[in-house]
Structure 1
C-alpha cells in the first residue's frame, strides 16, 4: 500500500479537546487531517495520493473529477494536480451562477478547467459527462483520468487504510489507546479505508463509527461495501483474508436540512466549539458529525468508549459562504 505520491503533510497531529472532554465525561481527541496542507487541506488528499499515482502510471496528464460548487475534493484535486505536474477538469454541480467564494474561489485561483452542470445532470449523468471529457481530451492528444466524487473508490480508500497505521504509530509512542474512531461519511471512501485498516491492523477490534451527512446509513453501508470490493484488487492475499465488509457502524439522524445545508443549531454548535477549543469545524461534514457525536454521547450511545478519536476531515473554505448565516452575539 505504498504505491502513492507524497503530497500531504503527514503524519497529522492528534490533540485532546480538554473542555469538551470534561463536559462529556469521555476523552475526545481530534486527528487533524484538516492540516494535511493549505491548498490540499482535508482528508481528500490522502486518497488522491493513490489515485494520482495510478493516473501517472497509466500515462494520464489530466485529472477529471466532480462535486458540488463548494466541493473540498474538487479544490484539493485541482491543487494536487498542479503539484503532480498534471492538469484538472472540475465538473461542479450548481443551478445558478455561483458566487466566487470559498472552495470555488480557490478553484479559480488554481486555474482549474471548470464545467458547470445542473443538479439533475449531476444525479443522473455525471459519469457520462466525465467520460465525454475524456474523449474531448483525446482529440487534443491528451489522456484523462476520472476520479469519482470524493476519490471514494478502491484505490482512493487505500489512503485511509494507511491512516490506521499512522494512528497505531502514535499509540506506540504515547500512553493513549483509542477504542473508538469517529468520522463523517459523505461519499464513503474515508470510512471504507478506516474500516479496512481496522480489520487489517487490529483484527476489527476498535469501534469505527460514521455519521452520514447525506442520504441514509443503509445507503452508505451498501456504498462502503462496493468500495471495499473495488479495493480488493489492490490488497495482498494476507490483508484480503482479514477484510470484512460487515459490522459497519453508521449512525443516521444528523443530516439535518440536507447535504451542505445547515440548521441554526448546527452553526451554533460550530461557533460554540470554536470558542471553547480554538478548533473550527466545517458546516458540511465535521460540523454535522461532531454535532451528532456530542448528542449521541449524551444519549449513552458511547458509554463503552473511553478514548474517542474524531477525524477532522477539513473543509474550512466551505465555511466562508455561510458567514451570513451565523447569528453572532456579543
Structure 2
C-alpha cells in the first residue's frame, strides 16, 4: 500500500513542469581547461552519445544523452587524517557535478532522462530512502526538463503517515514540486522496489499519464554508462600518471559497476575498492555481474567478471543510513583537516572503511596511489545534526560580539 496525501495533489497550471531554456556550458578543470570528450555541449540539451573507443563493443550504439552536469569534476590531493606514511591519497570531486547540490546520480540521469524524453514520457517515478540523494537529483532534473516527478520514499512505520517535513533533501524535493508517496520500511522490504514502482505506474497510467520508472539509485545497464563515461573523463585528467587503486562507496551498485568495468577496459587499469553501505559483498558481486550482462559485457566478452575487477568491502556498520559515532567522527576530522564534507550515508562510511583497511595493512598500501570518488550527498548531514552536535560542541567558539559604540 502506498501512503500519500496532499503532497501528491496536482500542481496548479502555472507551476506545472515546463522545460528550462538551454544554455551553452564550457567545461573546465580545476586549474586548466581539460580537453574533455564533448566539452562544448548545450546545457539541458539532448544530443547523441558516442562511447569511448574501448567501450564500442558494448551494447551502446548511438544513444541520447542530456547535458545535466558541470564537467570535468576536479581531482586533487587529499591528505586524509590517520593514513600511514607512504600512501598517496587523491579525491575526485563528483560532489561537484551540479544538479542542485551535486552527486554521482546526475551522471546516470543524463542517460535515463534522455531515454524518458525520447520515449515521450510525461512523468518519472523513482524510489529511495526518505533522504535519498538520487530522488532529489531526479526531482530537480525532471523539473528542468518539463517532467513531473513522483517519489516513493521509505520511512519508519511511526512516521510514514505523517508529513515528512522539510529537512535536507526533502526540502529540495518539495520546492521543485515532487509528488511524495511514503511507504514503511517493512512494506518496502516485503513488496520490493520493482513492484512498488509498478503499482504507482499502473495508477498513473489509469489517470491518463505516461510514466517511466527509474530504478533505485538510477542503477540499471543504461545508467551504468554514466560512469563508463566518467572513466573516459578520468583518463584525460590523470594521464600520464596513473592511480593504483580507486575507492568509493557502493549503495545501489550502478556507479561501482561503471567504474569497475571502465577501469578494466580503459587505460586506467586500477583496482576498484567498493565499500558497501548496505547488503553484503556477494549481493553486490552478483548484481554488478547482472548489470554487465545487460551491457553485453559477459566474462568472455570483456575478459573478467565483477570479482576479478573489484573488491567489495563491508562498510554498512549499524545499517543503511544508520551512523555509528566513529563514522561521524571520521567525517568531522576529514572536514576539519581537509575542508571536504562527507555525507553520512555513503562517503563517510566508505572513507572510514578505507582508512581502517589501510591502517590494518600499512605495508601492503605503502607506495600506492589511491583515488577516492566523492559521490556527493551533502544534504544528508542535516539529518544527523543531533548525532553530530556533541562531537562539534567543543569546536571553535560561539559568543555574543561586544559591539563598541560608534
What TM-score do the two structures reach when normalised by structure 2? 0.75
Aligned in 2, Cα 1:144/1:240: closer, same or farther, shift over 3 Å? farther
Equivalent residue in structure 2 for 1:205, among 260, 269, 278: 269
CA distance in 2, matches of 1:252, 1:294: 12
1:116 alignment partner in structure 2: 182
**Which has the larger displacement, 275-284 or 191-200?**
191-200
CA distance in 2, matches of 1:155, 1:243: 21
1:318 alignment partner in structure 2: 380
Aligned in 2, Cα 1:243/1:155: closer, same or farther, shift over 3 Å? farther
Whether the 8 Å contact between 2:68 and 2:106 is mirrored in structure 1 is yes
CA distance in 1, matches of 2:82, 2:271: 18
DSSP 3-state at the match of 1:209: strand
Whether the 8 Å contact between 2:81 and 2:333 is mirrored in structure 1 is no
2:69 alignment partner in structure 1: 8
- CA deviation vs aligned residue, 1:28-72 (integer Å, no higher than 9, x gap): 111100001151510000011111111112111111100000000
DSSP 3-state at the match of 1:157: helix
Equivalent residue in structure 1 for 2:261, among 196, 201, 204: 196
What does 1:283-294 align with in structure 2 at a 5 Å threshold? Answer: 283-294=344-355
**Which has the larger displacement, 186-195 or 49-58?**
49-58
1:74 alignment partner in structure 2: 135
DSSP 3-state at the match of 2:365: coil
Does 2:321 match 1:260? yes
CA distance in 2, matches of 1:43, 1:305: 28
Whether the 8 Å contact between 1:24 and 1:298 is mirrored in structure 2 is no
Larger radius of gyration: 2
Length, aligned pairs only: 323
What does 1:14-163 align with in structure 2 at a 5 Å threshold? Answer: 14-18=75-79, 20=81, 24-39=85-100, 41-95=102-156, 96=159, 97=162, 98-125=164-191, 126-163=193-230
Per the TM alignment, residue 181 of structure 1 is displaced from its structure 2 partner at its CA by 0.7
Equivalent residue in structure 1 for 2:291, among 227, 236, 247: 227
Does 2:287 match 1:214? no
Q: What runs of 5+ residues in structure 2 fail to find an aligned partner?
A: 1-48, 51-62, 396-406
1:244 alignment partner in structure 2: 304
1:308 alignment partner in structure 2: 370
Aligned in 2, Cα 1:86/1:248: closer, same or farther, shift over 3 Å? same
CA distance in 1, matches of 2:309, 2:322: 26
Per the TM alignment, residue 100 of structure 1 is displaced from its structure 2 partner at its CA by 2.2
Q: What runs of 5+ residues in structure 1 fail to find an aligned partner?
A: none
- CA deviation vs aligned residue, 1:60-91 (integer Å, no higher than 9, x gap): 11111000000000000000111122111100
CA distance in 1, matches of 2:247, 2:216: 21
Report the structure, 1 or 2, having the larger helix content: 1
CA distance in 2, matches of 1:292, 1:102: 25
Per the TM alignment, residue 21 of structure 1 is displaced from its structure 2 partner at its CA by 8.8
- CA deviation vs aligned residue, 1:137-192 (integer Å, no higher than 9, x gap): 223332111111101110001100011111101023xx532111111111100010
